[in-house]
Homo-oligomer: A and B are copies of this chain.
Amino acid sequence: MSLNKKSRVLALLALCFLPSIVQTQDGGVGDTAAQLRDAGMKSGLAWEIVEGLTTEVGPRLAGTEADHRAVEWTKRKLESLAFDEVWLERIEFPVWVRYHESAKIVAPFPQKLHISALGYSGSTDGEVTADVAGFTSLEALQEAPLDQVDGKIVFINYFTERTRTGAGYGHSVKVRYDAGQLAKEKGAVAVLIRSIGTDSHRFPHTGVTTLSTDPLPAAALSAPDADQLARIMERGDAVRISLFIRVAYRETGYSWNVIAQVNGRETPEKVVLIGAHLDSWDLGTGALDDGAGVAITAAAAHLIGELPQKPRSSIRLVLFGNEEAGLWGAKQYAAANAGILGDHLYASESDFGARAIWRFDTDNPVLMEAAMPVLEMLGIEKGEAASSGGPDIGPLQDRGVRIFRLQQDGSDYFDYHHTADDTLDKIDPEQLRQNVAAWAAVSYLAAELED
């Protein structure tokens, strides 16, 4: 899974022979989509973008100086590509920052634990030391009598199932959201959860909890640490943990949604919105989450922008700000553009890593029929109506914007998600290109084929 040198060389060679797209002026829409697909399979642009963003910026927690550098970097990059317009949309939100986190078992078997504070976690008052109350689910914690939890550090050892679709995460992430609030109601002094992840490496997975005033200190244990703690608790003696979490929280953060558009040739006011999120967690360099999505959708839109004849409607690339701490950019975009959402023909997001796409979902049979002959060569199956267009698309979908989805294989996405290990070496350039090919073809067709 590490970056294969041969692939890199092949990618560079392919770049040298990248033909300009010769659009058949009287050719079919399908021919142009197929040309975009083939250009996508040869394009090194997405790799260049994700390599550049993760190397020259790295981690970019929303509202931090690094995030602002990422906005500047990305705006400059998009301005160098085939967009007609590039603009910023300011967003505001509270900023939560991690300063220190450490944990150790002090009895019966003293040893360190690997933890990461969860987003919006509170700080401990210095070092807090308490006995552990262990549960295997939120429901078990819910049912526990108060005296089993009061004054304790709650540990929830709930497992995340590995699935291609991410359904396992869908089930387990509730633990991350709700454990802190529930444990607090029962008098706990802190909460530790088994990481919401599918790997067995010593990386804790961060991620937000529910935003609240006066939150409980909350952190994730890596899977091996959760296993270790569970084994120690099984031995029956009281287990005592010391925990030290120091975080900062301020109300006055800001960033931007970075937006770029390829204007449509006939109805430019109508847009097909494709996008990703630009911010990342602070631990890794946000290569899979979501540098890859930024790179895929930006490269796809650029290829469409390079066509000699633009599609009927516009392609709007929206790189959302602060997705990670609660879809702040997405909500802002939906609210600020509420008056023109009727002109949003579709919205869709790439925010599930960099593995190959295996299925295309749309409720529009015209789009499906046009797309499938182009996508089949990429190993993409015909799907059904999309249930979601991606997290940042939720607020648009709620307001009635039509969605489509290019589903990636997420089997190993939650091995890296929200960990320090989300780095560039986890991206396979070949699969990244397959994504660009599919996104370019489908986005073009969506903007060309009006109902």
Contact = CB atoms under 8 A, between A and B. Distances in A.
Contacts of A202: 203, 284, 419-421, 423
- What copy number does this chain have within its complex? 2
Interface in A16-41: none
A115 B201 CA distance: 17
A111 B56 CA distance: 9
Interface stretch (A220-228, A355-363, A371-379): A220-228
A424 interface: yes
Interface string A412-424: 0000000111011
Contacts of A108: 56
A2 interface: yes
Contact of A224 (B109, B223, B425): B425
A66 interface: yes
Given A2-B200, A203-B202, A58 B227 contact: no
B285 A200 contact: no
Contacts of A112: 59
A110 interface: yes
A9 interface: no
A57 interface: yes
Interface in A102-139: 108-112, 114
Nearest to A198: B2
A111 B66 contact: yes
Contact of A201 (B109, B201, B235): B201
Interface in A64-116: 66, 108-112, 114
Q: Which of A51, A66, A202, A421 has the most CB of B within 10 A?
A: A202
A51 B231 contact: yes
A55 interface: yes
A11 interface: no
Interface in A325-384: none
A27 to B, nearest CB: 41
Interface of A is mostly: loop
A114 to B, nearest CB: 7
A173 interface: no
B200 A55 contact: no
B57 A424 contact: no
A254 B55 CA distance: 45
> Is the interface on chain A under 10, 10 to 19, 20 to 34, or 35 or more residues?
35 or more
Contacts of A58: 109-111, 228
Nearest to A199: B2
Interface in A185-231: 200-203, 223-224, 227-228, 231
A66 B201 contact: no
A59 B423 contact: no
A202 to B, nearest CB: 5
Nearest to A57: B109
Nearest to A51: B231
B424 A224 contact: yes
Contacts of A110: 58, 66
Given A58-B109, A200-B2, A114 B227 contact: no
A15 interface: no
Contacts of A51: 231
A52 to B, nearest CB: 10
A108 B202 CA distance: 30
Contacts of A285: 111, 228
A425 B194 CA distance: 15
Interface string A1-16: 1110000000000000
B109 A56 contact: yes
Given A110-B66, A420-B114, A200 B425 contact: yes
B2 A424 contact: no
A232 interface: yes
Given A55-B235, A56-B235, A114-B420, 18 more contacts: A3-B227, A51-B231, A55-B232, A56-B108, A56-B232, A57-B109, A58-B111, A58-B228, A59-B111, A66-B110, A111-B285, A202-B203, A202-B423, A223-B425, A224-B423, A227-B424, A227-B425, A228-B285
15 contacts: A2-B200, A2-B223, A3-B227, A55-B109, A55-B231, A57-B109, A58-B109, A58-B110, A58-B228, A59-B111, A111-B285, A202-B203, A223-B425, A224-B423, A227-B424
